[in-house]
A and B are shown apart, each in its own frame.
Chain A
Amino acid sequence: MAVPILKQGPFLIASIQSALTDTDVLQLRDDVMAQVTRHRSRGIIVDVTALDVMDSFVSRSLRSIAMMTRLRGAETVIVGIQPEVAFAMVQLGMSFEDVQTALDLEEGLALLQAGDLG
Chain B
Amino acid sequence: MAEAQRIAIASDADVVTARQRARTLAIELEMASTDQTLLATAISEIARNITTYASHGEVLIDVVRDALGRPGVRVVARDEGPGIEDVERALTDGFTTGGGLGLGLPGARRLVDEFAIDTAPGRGTTVTLIKWAQRV
Contact = CB atoms under 8 A, between A and B. Distances in A.
Contacts of B111: 88, 91-92
Interface string A22-65: 11000000000000000000000000000011111100100000
B13 A53 contact: no
B37 interface: yes
Nearest to B94: A93
B97 interface: no
Interface string A89-109: 001111000000000000000
Contact of B107 (A20, A52, A84, A91): A91
With most chain B CB atoms within 10 A of its CB, the pick from A23, A83, A87 is A87
Interface residues of A, number: 22
A52 B40 contact: yes
Q: Which applies to chain B's interface (DSSP): helix, strand, loop or mixed?
A: helix
A88 B38 contact: yes
A93 B106 contact: yes
A92 B12 contact: no
Interface in B64-119: 93, 100-101, 103-104, 106-108, 110-111
Interface of B: 11-13, 15-16, 19-20, 23, 33-34, 36-38, 40-41, 44-45, 48, 93, 100-101, 103-104, 106-108, 110-111
Interface of A: 19-23, 52-57, 60, 82-85, 87-88, 91-94
